[in-house]
Structure 1
């Protein structure tokens, strides 16, 4: 193997070790480190005090939901980058291997033609 091929192979092997994002299984993607999606609180119309408590719960939920969805997007972007980098590295390795085989075949052909 060429030096570039070895570098690409080590990159491919190292990528999953340095990233802890979501999981893809059976066509379903799930988050790894964002916790549970916050439940949307209901608005309580019983009386003014109950309504005010429910509004306070909604405000808290909005902060939690914002953090959850920001985490979701970050994990999705990380996974997309890992997938793209892995595929690009594999394609580069393939091209390098094809080029190496071509050079070897050309060298063998020249050697055999000179006999």
Structure 2
């Protein structure tokens, strides 16, 4: 299965301040487990990889499952990406990360955007 894991942009939250310049470790751990299970995995960081909306639309068409991580500050950015995915693909969508874990009731309000959300 072709799986895309996405770290959403933090620029919408923090503006011109530099986004953290470290790899999304949680997504890397998940990606490694999925690869061990023989899935094809790609991880993108919207800021580090400098991915525009247009480029994102091209990328998502190639995946069957798309997971997006979100902290509370970037949850709205994640929702924007989920809307693009739903409008342009038939991919299974998954929300994960801190926000899904600490605010599941808020996440359920947007359930139509993603098929699943993961709590840890």
Normalised-by-shorter TM-score class: under 0.3
Q: TM-score, normalised by structure 2?
A: 0.19
Asked which structure has the greater CA Rg, the reply is 1
Q: Kindly indicate which of the two structures has a greater share of residues assigned to strand.
A: 2
* Higher normalized contact order (CA 8 Å, seq sep 6+, divided by chain length): 1
Structure in which a larger fraction of residues adopt helix: 1
